[in-house]
Amino acid sequence: MSERNGIFAGDDPFEIAARWLAEAEKTEPNDPNAIALATVDPDGMPNARMVLLKDIEAGAFVFYTNYQSAKARELDSAGKAAFVMHWKSLRRQIRVRGTITKEDGPMADDYYASRSLKSRLGAWASRQSEPLSSRAALMAEVAKVTAKLGSNPARPEFWGGYRLTPVEIEFWADGAFRLHDRFRWRRDPSDLKWNVQRLNP
């Protein structure tokens, strides 16, 4: 595909995504790794929220959350998800759809250990997505787990990662007069070969 050059050049979509993210880290004022993660509940009602993408692997995207949260329940139930990563400063976005698996082994342990102590304790204290009577009640729970767990808390078994393995990735860049450039990478889950197509804006 001779016209897929410049910012779209490359034979590996994960390398292109990592390159775009590295560019965004120089221009975005806050959280260049933020993604709008979309899930669906058992009744088919969609849901979306912002989370932070923490790793782009050779074949997947990884983020972390509380396994008892609404998003985790929906991820576990459907086994599928989608996200969009949008950078206003670059006028670009990446859309991803694929299958979901948990990352709750040594990689999750290492990431959890790399977080600030307050964030690690917060993961223990928060019953994510559950009703909360007041912020004071939350801070009291933080104080309670701090006293109990000390300065080196282990990763909670209810907290860890998810790996999204794409079947489809779209790279989008703003074009003059709304004539945007779009390239969709698509593959069958049983086949590692990507098919790349240019799409109409």
Residue 98 pairs in a beta bridge with 81, 166
Strand pairing class (46-56; 92-103): unpaired
Q: Are 53 and 33 in contact (CB under 8 A)?
A: yes
Q: Is 97 a catalytic residue?
A: no
Backbone angles phi, psi at 167, to 5 degrees: -105, -15
- Give the number of other CB atoms < 10 A from CB of residue 115: 14
Return d(Cα 198, Cα 171) in angstroms, integer: 10
State the burial class of residue 71 (Cβ atoms within 10 Å of its Cβ: 0-12, 13-18, 19+): buried
For residue 21, give the nearest of 103, 89, 82 by alpha carbon. Answer: 89
State the burial class of residue 64 (Cβ atoms within 10 Å of its Cβ: 0-12, 13-18, 19+): buried
Tokens (6 digits) for 182? 């779009």
Q: Which of 178, 182, 187, 198 is catalytic?
A: 178
Alpha carbon 186 to its chain's center:
19
Q: Which residues are marked as active site?
A: 178
